[in-house]
Amino acid sequence: MGPAKLLFVVESGTDVRLVEGLAESFDLTVLARRIQGGVEVSQVPEGAIRIITGPSSRVRFALAVAGHLAARTRAYDRVIVQGYGLAALAANLIGRFARVPVTMLVCSPVESYYRCRRDARDPRHPYRPLALAGLVLLARANARLGRHYVVLSRYLEQVVRGHGTRAAVHVVPVYGVDTDLFRPSREPRHVLRAKLGLPHEAALAFFSSRIAPEKDGATVLEALRLLRKEGRDVRLLHRSGGYREFVSLAEQHGVADAVIATDAAHPVRELPASYQASDLCIQASRDEGLGFSPLEALACEVPVVATAVGGLRETIVDGVTGWTYPLGDAGALAAAMAALLDHPDEALRRARAGRAMVMERFERRAVFGELREALTTAAPDAAAPA
């Protein structure tokens, strides 16, 4: 008997590591909404993985998901669908009738992320109260229909419980961290920087979050401006698909000359070296489901400064595994970065404690084992809310 047939429904893009990890345990098919101006999977997966691209419209994609499942009720043993939006609603509805187990994979607090648009007041990311009401309605509808969730953190478990669900919820940090790849560098930092074409003498801070209101790149750039105003030679390394937008934002803050920005690094072949070459990593999120960048940095024994919000509070503990600061407070972020740079022994102690935490709780092989078990125990006739 071959591996179980799994359909992975991707509504908002996904990481190649999750796709490849699922393909190791399941006969995988990916059904992904077309991302205009972006990519459905962060990098091209290795191996022969079936990827079907659907319409870019969320409504049309949800209809495509429903049609695909309705026409292939026996083609899949189970379905995992991203989030709790329209695509999840379509999958849950068809799954009910076809008796195919459906798991909602929740990686972010969607409503909270959307509220960040209201605070950011960025015309590129408009805030519409009616759209937020729609997100809340979808969350509650899926909570009523859904039978199973996989969430990244205890924080996200609280989020989905707050929608009113009585379904089973498994906490699994999806693809985890490959601690064989993300590890302390075997080369001195200056040697690694020379290979990567990075400055030797400056302090280098790594920030790889996408450009979005909830990621708060503006506060990072303002903290950089404050540090440079003090005379500190600090540079910011940014690797993201939206790096051009980030450079434009850096120009507005007057620090474009201190930003080294490139397209997204490959998560296996390139990303570990970017962490290893850096003096620290910043996660500035206004909210966060878990936050993988700090975990990858800590696995490389690179110290972390992060906001004390959401799932970050479960991993970045001030004085233990990193430094934390209040969200949106550029002065506090700059002070934390300065303290980290001025006390390298303490920074290394916290980073080493962080690597031990990552190896214990987030190691890739163990995490995928937990994910496989969570998916295979999701029964088609599991009790669902009435």
Phi, psi of 267 (to 5 degrees): -65, -15
Burial class (CB in 10 A: 0-12, 13-18, 19+), 196: middle
Which pLDDT score, from 0 to 100, does residue 383 have? 39
Alpha-carbon gap, residue 9 to 20, rounded angstroms: 14
CA atoms within 13 A of residue 45's CA, in its CB half-sphere: 21
Residue in the block written with tokens 């980290």: 340
User: With left for phi above 0 and alpha for psi between -120 and 50, is residue 85 left, alpha or beta?
Assistant: beta
Strand partners, 32: 10, 53
pTM, entire model = 0.94
Alpha-carbon gap, residue 122 to 227, rounded angstroms: 25
Nearest residue to 342 via CA among 206, 227, 185, 219: 227
Burial class (CB in 10 A: 0-12, 13-18, 19+), 144: middle
Which pLDDT score, from 0 to 100, does residue 378 have? 63
Please tell me the chain's helix, strand, coil percentages from 3-state DSSP, rounded to the nearest 5.
45, 15, 40
Domains, the chain, with CATH or none: 5-176+365-376 (3.40.50.2000), 189-362 (3.40.50.2000)
Burial class (CB in 10 A: 0-12, 13-18, 19+), 349: middle
Strand 5-10 with 280-283, pairing: unpaired
8 Å CB contact between 131 and 289? no
3-class state of residue 333 by DSSP = helix
What is the SS3 string spanning 351-370? HHHHHHHHHHHCEHHHHHHH
As given in the structure block, the two tokens for residue 164 are 């009113």
Phi, psi of 171 (to 5 degrees): -95, 110
As given in the structure block, the two tokens for residue 332 are 């506090």
| pLDDT tens for the 386 residues of the chain, in order | 689 999 999 999 999 999 999 999 999 999 999 999 888 999 899 888 999 999 999 999 999 999 999 999 889 999 999 999 999 999 999 999 999 999 999 999 999 999 999 987 778 889 999 999 999 999 999 999 999 999 999 999 999 999 999 999 999 999 999 999 999 999 999 999 999 999 999 999 999 888 889 999 999 999 999 999 999 999 999 998 778 889 999 999 999 999 999 888 888 889 999 999 999 999 999 999 999 999 999 999 999 999 999 999 999 999 999 999 999 999 999 999 999 999 999 999 999 999 999 999 999 999 999 999 999 886 544 434 43
3-class state of residue 384 by DSSP = coil
Alpha-carbon gap, residue 354 to 151, rounded angstroms: 22
